[in-house]
């Protein structure tokens, strides 16, 4: 590649970035990724584009496909944090009375009711986890899941529980 080609390529990247700028901003706003978290996502995607530019025929489509995917992964990651946090909070609530006896009993009842509204496999899994303190490997063994799939299943059940917490009565979602 000649020096002239390189300069052209640089120019074209700059022009390309300017041309996609408004759409890019709209995409981040659309997915509601906070600006401070946008930086990592954008940098990773653009670096990958620069490295793989030779094999990418439609850079704009590629870039937006990649960014959309990264935004979804970002929220998936955030949701996973939520499930972990809900799980930890429930475990803590179940671990011992931290509130007056009546309130504690109410909480346990409310939690049991919430779990009761989940699909069968989640009821079994979460009951074992919260009432008998089973860890994922023990759950896998007891319920016949493979060690690799138990965390996915547990996550789905925690997602269902979290959904139940927010959906209130009468709404069910199969994980």
Partner 1 sequence: MSEQGGPLGSNSAADLSKPDLHPSPETLWQFMEGGLAASEMRLVLRHLLRGCRSCQERARGVWNITLPALAAAAAAKVADVSVVSVVSVVSDTAKVADASEMPAAPCATCSIDGPTALALLPALLPAQPAAAALPAPTLHAAHGSCVRPALAPHLEVREAATATEIAETSSDAAYETVLDRVFSRINVEEAAVEAARQRAGGLFDELTQHPAARQQLLVQNSVRFCDRMLCERLLAASHDEGFRAPARSLELARVAVAVAERLVDSPPLRVPGSPPPATGELLAGLRARAWAQLGNALRIGSDHEAAAQAFHAVDALLVANPRLGLIDKARVFDLKASFCKDRRQFADAAQLLDRVITIYRRLGQSDLLGRALTQKATVLFDAGDVKASLVLLRDALELIDPHEDPRWFLIVRHNLIAALVEDGQPREAFALLFHTRPLYLKMGDRRNLLRMRWLEGQVAQGLQRLEQAEAAFREVSDAFVELGIEYDAALVSLDLAAVFAQQGRTSEMRRLAQEMVLFFESRQLHHEAMAAYLVFCTAAQIDQAGLGLVQEIAAFLKQARHTPDLRFVPPAPFADRR
Which one of the spans 40-48, 116-124, 129-137, 138-146 is the region binding partner 1 (CB under 8 A)? 40-48
Q: Are 150 and 137 in contact (CB under 8 A)?
A: yes
From 19, 52, 131, 149, residue interacting with partner 1 (rule: CB under 8 A)? 52
Minimum Å distance from CB 29 to partner 1? 6
Note whether 35 binds partner 1 by CB under 8 A. Answer: yes
State how far the Cα of 19 lies from the Cα of 22, in Å rounded to an integer: 7
Task: In whole angstroms, give the CA distance from residue 132 to residue 94.
Answer: 10
Q: Which stretch binds partner 1 (CB under 8 A): 9-17, 117-125, 126-134, 137-145?
A: 9-17
DSSP per-residue codes, 97-154: --S-HHHHHHHHHHHHHHHHTS-HHHHHHHHHHHHH---HHHHHHHHT--HHHHHHHH
Query: Near partner 1 by CB under 8 A, which window of 33-41, 116-124, 126-134, 138-146?
Result: 33-41
Inter-residue contact 174 to 119 (CB < 8 Å): yes
168 near partner 1, judged by CB under 8 A: yes
Of the residues 8, 19, 23, 81, which one makes contact with partner 1 according to CB under 8 A:
81
Among the candidate windows 68-76, 119-127, 135-143, which touches partner 1 by CB under 8 A? Answer: 68-76
- 4 is a site residue for partner 1 (CB under 8 A): no
Are 134 and 142 in contact by the 8 Å Cβ rule? The answer is yes
- Integer Cα distance of 106 and 112 in angstroms: 10
CB-wise, 66 or 127, nearer to partner 1?
Answer: 66
Contact between 42 and partner 1 per CB under 8 A = yes
Window 128 to 167, contacts with partner 1 (CB under 8 A) = 148, 162-163, 165-167
CA angle (55, 56, 60) in 5-degree steps? 165
Q: Which of 8, 19, 23, 88 is the binder for partner 1 (CB under 8 A)?
A: 88
């Amino acid at each position: 590649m000649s020096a002239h080609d390189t300069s052209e390529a640089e120019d074209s990247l700059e022009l390309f970035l300017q041309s996609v700028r408004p759409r890019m901003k709209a995409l981040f706003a659309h997915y509601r990724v906070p600006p401070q978290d946008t930086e990592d996502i954008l940098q990773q995607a653009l670096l990958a584009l620069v490295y793989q530019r030779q094999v990418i025929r439609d850079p704009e489509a590629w870039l937006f496909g990649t960014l959309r995917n990264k935004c979804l992964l970002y929220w998936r990651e955030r949701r996973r944090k939520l499930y972990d946090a809900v799980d930890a909070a429930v475990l803590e609530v179940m671990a011992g009375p931290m509130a007056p006896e009546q309130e504690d009993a109410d909480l346990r009842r409310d939690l049991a009711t919430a779990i009761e509204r989940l699909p069968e496999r989640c009821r079994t899994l979460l009951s074992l986890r919260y009432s008998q303190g089973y860890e994922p490997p023990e759950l896998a063994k007891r319920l016949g899941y493979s060690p690799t799939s138990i965390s996915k299943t547990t996550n789905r059940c925690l997602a269902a529980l979290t959904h139940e917490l927010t959906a209130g009565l009468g709404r069910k979602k199969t994980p």
